[in-house]
Amino acid sequence: MEMHRKFADWYSAVSLRHDEKTLEARWKAVDQLAEGLKIALVPAVVRTFFGLPGANSYHEEIRNVAKDKDKTYVIENDGSELVVLAGGVIAAAVSTSSPIADATALAVSTTDAQGMRRAQRLQGVVDETSKYLVEEAVRARNVNIDSKALDLDASGLATLLGSKGGVAISDVNSVWTATETIFRHLIASHSKHAKSLVTVLNQIYQAGKEQSDILWWILSEHTLDGVKSFSDLTVAEACFWGAGDLADLTIFLPGPLGGPAFLHRMLRTVKAKLPGSLEISECIEACKLDWSQKLVAEIEVQQLPDLCPMLFGLAKSVEVSGGNSWITAFENLTGLKGNAKAAPVRLASQIYNELLLLRALAWKG
């Protein structure tokens, strides 16, 4: 893969000296690491990029590959270089559409936590993932039957007809053999064409279903399970309910481009004038224990406190059956403050993206 145009800038941003030869060697390491990137490694890559604990084994993998490409690589005090190399892997991963790119971009977004994580980061890398999420949200839902469906192999069939199936005709048996060859080709080509049409039509149906279901959910002004009217929720509580409902209605990853707007519309139905900001703890403690228990039972966040801080906080709150004794564990393991604030729609978007990230990380394709 060609070196990212801003790779040298990222080195300069962390005050690391570099020359053309060094950059080429480092990018070769990035290229190899990106090529071998698996879904299971995404959390480690993102933790390395943000300088968070819990990625030591991936640090060693980066060092081994970098050392292999350039014997002058210095391991001692290489924290800043690890950040740049992990950033390069992230940028390479999101350069093309894939489930790994979805997971990587979502993981960077959720770890950044709507700007609540007060830590230095290479903003250029974060911008690359944001750009991917925007473009992929549109691409994943833009299904064009003309470009996606396979055509019948008319030219191949014509060639076979012209050559009589590639069989020398000498008697009735060879005529039958040639005819069978031609029909087998026709059937195989038609089957591939029909299968591709079914796949594309299903994608078109799913895209329309996602849009219409989200529209009806918003217009209904009720939670997806029909249990509560939006107006019966508090704004803090609705951040979780709205994010959970929208995640259930989302068919394609990443979420639709209008995701934050849908959540904002839902929150405005809860209360016409929204507060300027809410604390993380307010949102978590506003959720009823039985509802929180049900959601937590459906998700796995214990190993991802830093990537899914809002869901992790809810899980810790469930562990202590409500109250605020969960906050200490939350702050120690997520690196965020329980009283960190953000606008309601940003908190709801954070929860929504965390739920989508869990789905992306569960991909087994």
Q: What integer pLDDT is reported at residue 304 of this predicted model?
A: 94
DSSP 3-state of 191: helix
Domain residues for 172?
145-203
Residue 173, pLDDT above cutoff 80: no
Given a cut of 90, whether residue 348 has pLDDT beyond it is yes
Residue 24: both structure tokens together = 């080429």
pLDDT band at 85 (very low <50, low <70, confident <90, very high): very high
In a shared domain, residues 259 and 160: no
Based on the fold, state whether residues 116 and 162 are members of the same structural domain. Answer: no
**Residue among 328, 333, 343 nearest 309 (CA):** 333
Same domain, 287 and 347: yes
Q: Which residues of 337-348 are buried (b: 16+ CB within 10 A; e: fewer)?
A: ebebbbbbbbbb
- Is there a domain that residue 24 lies in? yes
Tokens for 184, please give them: 């087998």
Report yes or no on 18 lying in a domain: yes
Q: In this structure, what token pair is assigned to residue 146?
A: 């003309």
What's residue 152's pLDDT?
Answer: 63
Tens of pLDDT, residues 22-50: 899 999 999 999 999 999 999 999 999 99
Same domain, 22 and 93: yes
Which of 91, 112, 139 is a domain's end point? 139
Q: 133 lies in a domain?
A: yes
* Number of structural domains in the chain: 3
Looking at the chain, the whole-number percentage of residues with pLDDT higher than 90 is 70
Q: Any residues with CB less than 8 A from the CB of 309 and at least 6 apart, and which?
A: 110, 113, 280, 330, 334, 336, 350, 354
For residue 170, how far is the Cα from the chain centroid?
A: 61
Closest CA to 284 of 303, 311, 306: 311
Residue 177 maps to a domain: yes
pLDDT tens digits, one per residue of 94-109: 999 999 999 999 999 9
H/E stretch holding 279 reads strand 278-279
- Spatial contact of 32 and 103, defined as CB atoms under 8 Å apart: no
In the chain, the amino acid numbered 101 is: A
Q: Say if 2 falls within a structural domain.
A: no
Q: What is the pLDDT of residues 161-172, one digit of tens each?
A: 566 656 566 666
Say yes or no to pLDDT of 145 above 70: no
Q: Are residues 235 and 357 in the same domain?
A: yes
Round the average pLDDT of the chain to a whole number and report it: 89
Which DSSP state fits 5? T
pLDDT band at 341 (very low <50, low <70, confident <90, very high): very high
Q: End of a domain among 91, 106, 139? A: 139
Do residues 78 and 108 both lie within one domain? yes
Residue-wise pLDDT for 290-312, tens only, equals: 999 999 998 877 789 999 999 99
Report the range of poorest mean pLDDT among 83-92, 151-160, 260-269, 294-303.
151-160
Same-domain status, 15 and 98: yes
Do both 13 and 96 map to the same domain? yes
Does 132 share its domain with 168?
no
13 pLDDT band, cuts 50/70/90, is confident
On the question of pLDDT at 147 being above 60, the answer is no
Instruction: Please indicate, yes or no, whether residues 230 and 347 belong to a single structural domain of this protein.
Output: yes
Spatial distance between the Cα atoms of 14 and 295, rounded to a whole number of angstroms: 40
Mark whether 150 and 189 lie in a shared domain: yes
**79-116 b/e (C-beta count within 10 Å ≥ 16 → b):** eebbbbbbbbbbbbbbeeeeebbbbbbbbbbbbbbbeb
pLDDT of residue 1: 81
Beta bridge partners of 278: 342
- Does residue 212 fall inside a structural domain? no
> Is residue 214 a part of any domain in this protein?
no
Are 265 and 333 members of one domain?
A: yes
Is 258's pLDDT higher than 60?
yes
Q: Which of 108, 123, 139 is the last residue of a domain?
A: 139
In a domain, 14, yes or no: yes
